[in-house]
Amino acid sequence: MSILIVRGKCKKKDRVKHMKIQITSYISGLSDKDRFELTKETINNSAADLLLFSGHTIGFVNEIEKLKSSITNKKTEVIFELENINSDKIKNCLYHIRSGEIQNLYTNQIFTESVEIENNNELADRLLYEFENKRKIHINKLSVLVIQCGEMNILKNIQSEENRVEFRLSEDAILNERFLKIFNETDIFLNPIHTPMGNQGKIQKRREFLSKNKKFYFSASNTKEDSRNLELKSLQYAFYNGNELIEDNKIITDNSVSRIYKI
């Protein structure tokens, strides 16, 4: 795959046609009604090939059916998250829209914090299974993988080595081999986030890691709780080959911000 970066933009040749990727973030604390209306309008007005929403895109399960009958945009593929499926066992469920049809990916966020995954081979095995079987889609001949919010803690930083990044359970040869296979086969990593992550220095290294070897990484977060600051740097990130990308366009409304990238 041949890729040329010009002024922070990426041009692909031979393997795929040009793509537009849009990432959209919301203000935290919006009502379910407001999130639904924003989501519907953003999807129907998008001219992107791929649209990624921040976490908790829509609030309650009954809005899935409402959204199904509200989509008029048949071109844009969308990744969004349902916060509340009305279950005390499952939340943060992922959905994919293709050709205007909503597809349940039958997957949800597996863990949030590093303490949950540290030395937890069974949980790592479960997340890798989700990656292998439920979180990967193909768009314009590119393989796209979704990592939900704190699942970025499947990676860890080695502080004594300038925060070098590696798979958190790399000492398990089988798990490590599975992770590397997933990594090598992925072209674009998408990371929907609920609120901005802490320790941005370490997370920055992880973004660079996931985008190395001519890969892409995109994340979209809602604002901090009780904040309306849509200009916050940590809301949205776009990387290619370890370097940050410059957006082609930015759209700000009262309750959302979108950035569009041409790759």
The angle, 0 to 180 degrees and rounded to 10, between the axes of the packed helices 121-133 and 173-185 is: 30
- Each residue's pLDDT expressed in tens, for the chain with a length of 263 residues: 334 433 344 544 444 568 999 999 999 999 999 999 999 999 999 999 999 999 999 999 999 999 999 999 999 999 999 999 999 999 999 999 999 999 999 999 999 999 999 999 999 999 999 999 999 999 989 999 999 999 999 999 999 999 999 999 999 999 999 999 999 999 999 999 999 988 889 999 999 999 999 999 999 999 999 899 999 999 999 999 999 999 999 999 999 999 999 99
Residue 6's pLDDT is 37
Residue 197's pLDDT is 87
Residues in the chain: 263
Q: Where are the alpha helices (DSSP H) in 97-171?
A: 114-117, 121-133
C-alpha distances (whole Å) from 218 to each of 92, 190, 235 are 18, 5, 11
**212: exposed, middle or buried (C-beta count within 10 Å: 0-12, 13-18, 19+)?**
middle
Q: Answer whether 35's CB lies under 8 Å from 253's CB.
A: no
Q: What share of the chain is helix, strand, coil (3-state, %, to 5)?
A: 30, 35, 35
Q: Quickly count: other Cβ atoms within 10 Å of residue 79's Cβ.
A: 24
Q: Quickly count: other Cβ atoms within 10 Å of residue 77's Cβ.
A: 21
How much is the pTM? 0.92
Taken in order of first residue, the domains within the chain and their CATH numbers are: 2-262 (3.60.110.10)
Residue 1's pLDDT is 39
Residue 123's pLDDT is 97
Q: Answer whether 94's CB lies under 8 Å from 130's CB.
A: no
Q: Answer whether 140's CB lies under 8 Å from 49's CB.
A: yes
Residue 16's pLDDT is 53
Q: Answer whether 260's CB lies under 8 Å from 246's CB.
A: no
C-alpha distances (whole Å) from 123 to each of 55, 107, 111, 126, 162 are 21, 14, 8, 5, 27
Residue 13's pLDDT is 41
How is residue 206 written in tokens? 């992880």
